[in-house]
Amino acid sequence: MSKKIEDWTTEAVPMILNYQNDDSLFIPTAGGAKLKGLMVDAEHVLNIINNPDHNIKKLFMICALRGDTDVQQFTMVLAGVDDDGKLVCDPAYEYLEPCPSNCANLDAHL
């Protein structure tokens, strides 16, 4: 089960920095920089959660590689999981904006 982060500074920041400072774990962006995160449109998440045909209980974030360009890019496919634990693929979304191309203002919070 997901755990709510109660204190960004003491809980999230150390985990984020552990990844960002670990040179042995390197997920590259299409431009070759280290991937810091992925952003998804809130509307897409809400479309999955508010599926009128299924009682969605969880969001499944499935690791994937986009291979439609010269350079493979790590991404995630997002889909719902219903109350029976079954994957619901309609709707499902991909194309998450990679950070460092789009990071909101992450560095200001580290």
Per-residue pLDDT of the chain (110 residues; tens, 9 = 90+): 789 999 999 999 999 999 999 999 888 888 888 999 998 999 999 999 999 999 999 999 999 988 766 777 888 999 999 999 999 999 999 878 888 877 888 888 88
User: Can you list the alpha helix ranges (DSSP code H) found in 1-110?
Assistant: 13-20, 42-49
The domain limits of the chain are 8-109
Residue 38 · residue 98 · CB < 8 Å: yes
Amino acid identity for residue 14 in this structure: P
pTM for the full predicted model: 0.82
**How far is the C-alpha of 29 from the C-alpha of 19, rounded, in Å?**
15
3-class DSSP state of 90: strand
